[in-house]
């Protein structure tokens, strides 16, 4: 069965405010080629997903909501259930209603089953801070920068799944998906300096040393940890040569996309997408009857 992703059109994308240290509105506004480059980068990413066998659902961009191009922050989706996000920064809060409507449309089309809201007082920025680990059968949940720690209990309750909490230590790696990427076969690409000592202890308790692939400062700053993994395919922003070689030596097929216009907003391949069809129990190949 092919995997299904949500993406948002990049027509209204831009870097117009600064809510993380990567965002550079001045660089964006003085580069006349930036808008065209962003449209091309978004098309290249969706083409790479489709080349890896995925289906891509697209929603239109909205003027005044430039970060709508990062649907990983819109919701957590598992087993057909959509838990809508609540954003920390006022600059992104306008996206909530747009994504709510988009998920209700997906429900009407039968692509998701249920759309639910977070409890009051919880901030949670979607799959950017809650990553399902299909090999281990639990969510890794990031908090401390954008999502609040009370999101942990909310996610456990809504999905009825276990959660491992990871506190993020750096404002440069403000969503879990900027520094943490579980891969096919139980491997993990991650950037240790982004985590508190307790979070690193939790990671190391669950992931054996031979399964850990440590990203360097350069790999993390190139937004390569923010990657989409579909089977053996790994789709990411342009990796430093050393990282590509390490991933290929472990059997991954790396597709590199020039995502510079989105890195200027603090985002990469993973957060420009949201996986819609993830199941907690991998589907069994079984006979028709």
State the catalytic residues: 175, 271
Segment contacting ligand ARG by CB under 6 A, of 68-76, 107-115, 164-172, 190-198: 68-76
H/E stretch holding 114 reads: strand 114-116
Cβ 224 to ligand ARG shortest distance, Å: 13
Answer for which of 175, 233, 244, 275 binds ligand ARG (CB under 6 A) is 175
**Residue closer to ligand ARG, measured from CB, 9 or 211:** 9
Answer for which of 3, 42, 73, 151 binds ligand ARG (CB under 6 A) is 73
238 φψ region: left (φ > 0), alpha (ψ -120 to 50), beta (else): beta
Residues 6+ apart with CB under 8 A from 66: 12, 13, 14, 15, 16, 265
**Residue closer to ligand ARG, measured from CB, 61 or 128:** 128
The three-state secondary structure class of 54 is: coil
Cβ 46 to ligand ARG shortest distance, Å: 17
The three-state secondary structure class of 235 is: strand
Cβ 178 to ligand ARG shortest distance, Å: 5
Q: How far apart are CA 137 and CA 162, in angstroms?
A: 8
The three-state secondary structure class of 36 is: helix
**Residue closer to ligand ARG, measured from CB, 192 or 211:** 192
The three-state secondary structure class of 253 is: strand
CB 63 within 8 A of CB 12: yes
Characterize the bridge pairing of strands 233-237 and 180-182.
Answer: unpaired
Residue 265 interacting with ligand ARG (CB under 6 A): yes
Find where tokens 């692509």 sit. Answer: 111
Cβ 146 to ligand ARG shortest distance, Å: 7
Segment contacting ligand ARG by CB under 6 A, of 56-64, 105-113, 173-181, 230-238: 173-181
**Residue closer to ligand ARG, measured from CB, 254 or 271:** 271
Segment contacting ligand ARG by CB under 6 A, of 65-73, 114-122, 150-158, 246-254: 65-73
Residue 266 interacting with ligand ARG (CB under 6 A): yes
Segment contacting ligand ARG by CB under 6 A, of 95-103, 114-122, 171-179, 192-200: 171-179
Answer for which of 177, 183, 235, 261 binds ligand ARG (CB under 6 A) is 177
**Residue closer to ligand ARG, measured from CB, 17 or 192:** 17
Q: How far apart are CA 117 and CA 28, in angstroms?
A: 34
Q: State both tokens at 224.
A: 């390569």
H/E stretch holding 100 reads: helix 95-108
């Amino acid at each position: 069965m092919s995997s299904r992703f949500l993406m948002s059109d990049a027509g209204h994308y831009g870097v117009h405010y600064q809510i993380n240290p990567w965002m550079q509105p001045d660089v964006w506004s003085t580069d006349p080629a930036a808008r065209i480059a962003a449209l091309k980068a978004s098309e290249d990413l969706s083409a790479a997903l489709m080349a890896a066998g995925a289906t891509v659902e697209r929603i239109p961009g909205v003027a005044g909501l430039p970060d709508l191009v990062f649907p990983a922050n819109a919701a957590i989706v598992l087993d057909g259930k959509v838990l809508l996000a609540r954003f920390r920064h006022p600059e992104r809060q306008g996206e909530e209603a747009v994504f709510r409507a988009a998920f209700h449309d997906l429900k009407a089309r039968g692509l998701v089953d249920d759309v639910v809201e977070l409890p009051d007082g919880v901030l949670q920025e979607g799959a950017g801070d809650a990553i399902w680990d299909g090999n281990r059968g639990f969510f890794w949940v990031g908090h401390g920068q954008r999502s609040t720690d009370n999101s942990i209990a909310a996610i456990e309750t809504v999905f009825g799944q276990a959660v491992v909490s990871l506190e993020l230590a750096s404002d440069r790696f403000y969503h879990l998906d900027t520094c943490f990427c579980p891969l096919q076969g139980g491997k993990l690409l991650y950037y240790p300096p982004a985590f508190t000592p307790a979070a690193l202890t939790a990671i190391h308790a669950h992931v054996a040393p031979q399964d850990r692939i440590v990203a360097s400062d350069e790999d993390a700053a190139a937004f390569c940890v923010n990657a989409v993994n579909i089977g053996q395919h790994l789709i990411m922003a342009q990796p430093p040569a050393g990282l590509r070689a390490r991933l290929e030596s472990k059997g991954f097929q790396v597709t590199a996309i020039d995502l510079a216009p989105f890195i200027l907003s603090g985002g990469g391949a993973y957060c420009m997408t949201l996986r819609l069809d993830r199941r907690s129990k991998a589907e069994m190949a079984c006979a028709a009857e």
